[in-house]
Amino acid sequence: MLNRQGDILPPLYYDLYPGHNLEDLPFWLDLAYRQSSPLLELGCGTGRVFLPLILAGYQAIGLDHDRRMLDYLLQANHLDLNRWLICADMTTFHLGLAFNLIIIPCNTYATFPENTRRQTLRQVFQHLRPAGLLAISLPNPVVLRSLPKHNPPELEEIVAHPIDGNPVQISSAWERSTNQLTIFWYYDHLFTDGRIERFGFHQAYYLASVDNYLDELRWAGFTHLTIFGNFHHSSYSENSPDLIILASV
């Protein structure tokens, strides 16, 4: 087996990430409809949310710090997206534009420590129009804190490799401390000659409380805060799968 371990999953495999389904897309498209252009997505990655916004006709900008993700997004789609994609740090970006909607989807916000969250919120606040809206989705931290401290690798699913069609077995494990949950992903690309190419990737999620998140938003200047427990606008509870926050001034 050829092992390739790292903190950053190759873009080709990122699109195979378990849980990258379509459940949340109507939510983001509905927000875009209500707020209208221009829109900004922070952490757009390979475009799972960004592309549907563009294809729906919205003027959307996608920002990500990982140039490889943006290059993959450009190469994998037959669209002229260069002017809509920006490689920059979420904590320091200055676009000279103001937006009606800024979104941070795909659990990205939960991967930030507190200082990064605060710096990001400061930049977001400066880039929102007076009636603008910030929307954040992340896994419910209460549910994450209730998980066992350790879980051995388990097979999540088997998908076809997007280039050669061979199976890719996706497994995951986790370790939980008081303040973090680290998920380890293993992508085993199975070849017909018996070879296996493994990509290992891990991601830490910070287990801040709901009150912590809301207090940070108030610190940044947001005064109107709404939370949901899923993408169907259900009320939030400790058992909700998600924590979705809408913030405005």
Domain shared by 18 and 54, yes or no: yes
Domain shared by 72 and 86, yes or no: yes
pLDDT of amino acid 141: 96
Q: How sure is the predictor about 233, in pLDDT bands with cuts at 50, 70 and 90?
A: very high
Domain shared by 34 and 107, yes or no: yes
Q: What is the DSSP string of 72-130?
A: HHHHHSSS--GGGEEE--TTT---S--EEEEEE-TTGGGGS-HHHHHHHHHHHHHTEEE
Task: Provide CB contacts within 8 A for 94, sequence distance 6+.
Answer: 123
Total of domains in the chain? 2
pLDDT of 19 > 60? The answer is no
pLDDT of 180 > 70? The answer is yes
Which CATH number belongs to the domain containing residue 34 in this structure?
3.40.50.150
pLDDT of 4 > 70? The answer is no
Q: How far apart are CA 129 and CA 122, in angstroms?
A: 14
Beta bridge partners of 226: 246
Greatest alpha-carbon pair distance for the chain in Å reads 60
pLDDT of 133 > 70? The answer is yes
* DSSP state for residue 47 in the 8-state scheme: -
Domain shared by 160 and 138, yes or no: no
Domain shared by 171 and 131, yes or no: no
Report helix, strand or coil for 138. Answer: strand
pLDDT of 95 > 60? The answer is yes
Domain shared by 69 and 180, yes or no: no
152: containing domain:
2-6+146-206
Domain shared by 110 and 79, yes or no: yes
Cis amide leading into 38 (omega within 30): yes
Q: How sure is the predictor about 162, in pLDDT bands with cuts at 50, 70 and 90?
A: confident
pLDDT tens figures, 52-83: 999 999 999 999 999 999 999 998 887 888 88
Q: Residue 144 has which token pair?
A: 């994450």
Q: Residue 167 has which token pair?
A: 């199976």
Domain shared by 201 and 184, yes or no: yes
**Residues 19-48, mean pLDDT to the nearest whole number:** 91
Domain shared by 225 and 180, yes or no: no
Whether 185 contacts 200, CB under 8 Å = yes
Whether 15 contacts 45, CB under 8 Å = no
pLDDT of 18 > 60? The answer is no
pLDDT of amino acid 78: 78
